[in-house]
Amino acid sequence: TSGISLLEPIVEWLEEQKGMNRTVSTLGAGFVCWALGIASILSLNLWADFTPLGSIDMLEGKTIFDLLDFFTANILLPLGGLLVAVFAGWVMSREAIEKELALSEPMFRLWYITVRFITPVAVGAVFVYNLFGA
């Protein structure tokens, strides 16, 4: 399922970088994911008053579930979008992108300018606003 495919990069990294065998890295990564899941569930009832990072103003009053939600929605998603835009606009070759998108020349130019210049600024603004403006 998709959960297994999401676990694969972590398992592979543990194998390559830390020298762990596949079984141990799979069980370890799976356990960490399971523990985070249990902690987030418990933060909706038994641990509802537990705010582990409450001393940080931005994270005050956030339970484990709220922290995972905040981190995912306000950091990972905008950062992922920013990195994809930078990769597509500045790292990939123009020819490869043109071939993949198969757009007309005017549409491609508009897309290319948008991805290179407008998207990183817009996503960066959303990222900063989510962290400091809300």
pLDDT in tens, 59-111: 999 999 999 999 999 999 999 999 999 999 999 999 999 999 999 999 999 99
The rounded mean pLDDT for the chain is 93
Q: Check residue 132 and give its pLDDT.
A: 86
Number of domains in the chain: 2
- Do 62 and 111 fall into the same domain? yes
Q: Name the residue range of residue 7's domain.
A: 1-42
**pLDDT higher than 70, residue 33:** yes
In a domain, 48, yes or no: no
Residues 72 and 120 in one domain: yes
Residue 47 in any domain: the answer is: no
DSSP state of 132: I
pLDDT at 45 over 90: yes
In-domain check, residue 15? yes
Residue 74 Cα distances to 60, 69, 70, 95, 96, angstroms: 15, 8, 5, 33, 31
The percent of residues above 70 in pLDDT, for the chain, comes to 99
| Tally of CA atoms within 13 A in the half-sphere of 40 that contains its CB | 12
Q: Are 39 and 64 in contact (CB under 8 A)?
A: yes
